[in-house]
C-alpha cells in the first residue's frame, strides 16, 4: 500500500498538471476519489445568474463514478442541493464533511437525497469550496457508497491537505483560460490586418508573425528567412535591416532614442518593393506582450493595395485632408521629403503636418505612428483594396 505522504505528493503533482492542461481534470477527480475511498466525485462550476435559454446552471470540469447523463439530471436538483449553501459558507479552500458540519440524518430527509443520491446508492459526502462570489461558485465533492457509512479520519485529512492545492490550481486554470482567450482574440485581430507583422529579437530571429507576415516570409520574395534570421535579397540590405531591428530593440531597452527610416526591399518580376519598418516593442506591450525588449517589423506590400482610406484616417483621428494625405503616404512607406516633392510643398510645411499628426494621434515617433495605423483593426476593417 502506498504511504500517505507519497499519495499526497502524487495527487498534488496531478492537480497542478491539470491547472495547465484542463483535459487532465477528469483523471484528477478520479484519482482523488479513489484515494479517499469515495464512490463518486465531481468538480462542478455553478452559475447562479444563468439564463435558461443560454445553457445550464452547472458545468463539470471532471466527473468520476457517475454516468454521462448524471450532470443533466443534476441540473434539476442543483437549486435545492442542501449541501451547496453550507459549502459556499465555508472559507475558500476548506472542507465540508457530513456529520461534522451538518447532520447526515437531516440530509437524508431532503428531496435531492431521496431523488438523486439514494437511487445511486450514494451516502456521506465531503466537499471543498473552491471559489464563490455573488453569481458563481465551484466545489469539489466526493460521496461514499451508502453501505460504507462516513469517511474515515485519514480520508478527511487527505482531502484537507489537498484542498488548498486544488483551490490554487483552479485559480491558475481560470487565469490561464482568460489569457488564452485574450491571446486568441488578439491573434485573430492581428491576422485580419493587411500589413505583415513580424516580432524579432535583437539578432533578427523571428519570434512570431501574423498570417500576412507568414505568407510573405514563405514566399521569400523580397523578405525571407535564412539560418533562422530575417533576410533580404542582397547582403547589404540584410545588414541594413538587421541594424534597423537591433536599433529598435535598443530603443525598447532605453539604450537609444531615435528610430530609423523604412527600408525598401526589391522583389522579382518588377513587383513594387516591400516597405519594412522596425518599431520598438517594449516589455509589457499590451498587444504583443513580451517579457524582454524586441522589435515589431512592419511589412507593407504595395501590390496588395490594402490600406486605410485617407477619409477613414481623417474621421478616426480628426485630421485635415492634408494631414490625412500625409499619414496615408507615410503608412505606404513614402519618405516625408519625397512626399513634399510629390505634392509641391515645402519640406517645412510637411513637417508641420507631421507635428499635428503626432498631436492628434498621441504618438511621438514616425515609426510608432505607422505602427498605430497598421495594427489598428478598426482602421484596417475599412481598408481600400
What pLDDT tens digit does each residue of the chain (385 aa) get? Answer: 678 899 999 999 999 999 989 899 999 999 999 999 999 999 999 887 655 544 457 889 999 999 988 988 998 888 889 999 999 999 999 999 999 999 999 999 999 999 999 999 999 999 999 998 877 889 999 999 999 999 999 999 999 999 999 999 999 998 888 877 777 777 776 776 678 999 999 999 999 999 889 999 999 999 999 988 999 999 999 999 999 999 999 998 888 777 667 899 999 888 889 999 998 888 765 555 556 788 999 998 877 756 678 888 999 999 999 999 999 999 888 899 999 999 999 999 999 999 999 999 999 888 889 888 877 867 765 554 4
Distance between CA 314 and CA 320 in Å, rounded? 6
Question: CB burial class (10 A; 0-12, 13-18, 19+) of residue 380?
Answer: buried
Per-residue H/E/C for the chain: CCCHHHHHHHHHHHHHHHHHCHHHHHHHHHHHHHHHCCCEEEEEEEECCCCHHHCCCEEEEEEECCCCCHHHHHHHHHHHCCHHHHHHHCCCCCEEEECCCECHHHHCCCHHHHHHHHHHCEEEEEEEEEEECCCEEEEEEEEEEHHHCCCCHHHHHHHHHHHHHHHHHHHHHHHHHHHHHHHHHHHHHHHCCCCEEEEECCCCEEEEECHHHHHHHHHCCCCEEECCEEECCCHHHHHHHHHHHHHHHHHHCCCCCCCCCCEEECCCCCCCCEEEEEEEECCCCCCCCCCCCEEEEEEECHHHCCEECHHHHHHHHCCCHHHHHHHHHHHCCCCHHHHHHHHCCCHHHHHHHHHHHHHHHCCCCHHHHHHHHHCCHHHHHCEEC
Q: Which domains does the chain have, with CATH numbers?
A: 4-179 (3.30.450.80), 192-303 (3.30.450.20), 305-385 (1.10.10.10)
Q: Provide the angle, in degrees to the nearest 10, between the axes of the packed helices 4-20 and 25-36.
A: 160
Predicted local distance difference test score (pLDDT) of residue 385 = 45
C-alpha–C-alpha distance, residues 46 and 130, integer Å? 11
pLDDT number for residue 55: 46
pLDDT at residue 49, rounded to an integer: 67
Distance from C-alpha of 225 to C-alpha of 241, rounded to nearest angstrom: 12
Within 13 Å of residue 13, how many CA atoms lie on the same side as its CB?
6
User: By the 8 A CB rule, do 293 and 265 touch?
Assistant: no
pLDDT per residue over 77-135, tens digit each? 888 899 999 999 999 999 999 999 999 999 999 999 999 999 999 999 999 999 988 77
Amino acid at each position: 500500500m502506498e504511504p500517505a505522504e507519497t499519495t499526497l505528493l502524487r495527487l498534488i503533482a496531478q492537480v497542478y498538471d491539470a491547472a495547465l492542461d484542463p483535459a487532465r481534470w477528469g483523471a484528477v477527480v478520479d484519482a482523488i476519489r479513489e484515494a479517499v475511498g469515495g464512490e463518486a466525485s465531481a468538480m462542478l462550476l455553478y452559475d447562479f445568474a444563468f439564463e435558461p435559454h443560454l445553457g445550464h446552471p452547472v458545468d463539470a470540469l471532471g466527473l468520476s463514478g457517475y454516468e454521462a447523463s448524471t450532470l443533466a439530471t443534476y441540473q434539476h436538483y442543483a437549486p435545492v442541493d442542501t449541501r451547496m449553501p453550507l459549502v459556499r459558507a465555508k472559507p475558500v479552500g476548506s472542507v465540508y464533511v457530513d456529520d461534522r458540519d451538518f447532520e447526515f440524518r437531516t440530509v437524508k430527509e431532503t428531496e435531492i437525497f431521496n431523488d438523486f443520491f439514494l437511487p445511486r446508492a450514494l451516502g456521506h459526502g465531503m466537499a471543498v469550496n473552491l471559489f464563490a462570489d455573488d453569481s458563481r461558485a465551484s466545489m469539489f465533492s466526493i460521496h461514499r457508497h451508502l453501505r460504507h457509512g462516513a469517511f474515515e479520519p485519514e480520508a478527511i485529512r487527505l482531502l484537507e491537505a489537498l484542498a488548498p492545492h486544488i483551490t490554487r490550481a483552479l485559480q491558475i486554470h481560470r487565469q490561464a483560460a482568460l489569457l488564452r482567450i485574450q491571446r486568441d482574440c488578439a491573434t485573430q485581430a492581428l491576422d485580419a490586418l493587411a500589413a505583415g507583422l513580424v516580432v524579432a529579437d535583437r539578432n533578427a530571429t523571428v519570434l512570431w508573425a501574423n498570417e500576412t507576415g507568414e505568407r510573405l516570409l514563405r514566399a521569400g520574395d523580397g523578405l525571407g528567412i535564412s539560418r533562422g534570421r530575417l533576410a533580404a535579397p542582397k547582403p547589404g540590405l540584410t545588414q541594413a535591416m538587421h541594424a534597423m531591428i537591433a536599433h529598435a530593440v535598443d530603443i525598447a531597452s532605453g539604450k537609444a532614442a531615435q528610430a530609423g527610416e523604412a527600408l525598401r526591399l526589391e522583389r522579382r518580376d518588377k513587383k513594387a518593393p516591400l516597405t519594412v519598418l522596425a518599431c520598438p516593442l517594449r516589455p509589457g506591450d499590451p498587444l504583443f506582450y513580451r517579457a524582454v525588449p524586441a522589435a515589431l517589423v512592419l511589412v507593407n506590400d504595395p501590390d496588395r493595395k490594402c490600406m486605410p482610406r485617407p477619409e477613414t484616417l481623417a474621421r478616426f483621428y480628426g485630421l485635415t485632408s492634408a494631414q490625412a494625405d500625409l499619414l496615408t503616404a507615410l503608412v505606404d512607406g513614402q519618405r516625408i521629403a519625397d512626399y513634399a516633392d510629390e505634392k509641391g510643398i515645402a519640406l517645412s510645411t510637411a513637417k508641420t503636418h507631421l507635428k499635428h499628426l503626432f498631436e492628434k494621434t498621441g504618438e511621438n515617433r514616425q515609426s510608432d505612428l505607422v505602427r498605430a495605423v497598421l495594427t489598428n483593426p478598426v482602421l484596417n476593417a475599412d481598408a481600400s483594396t
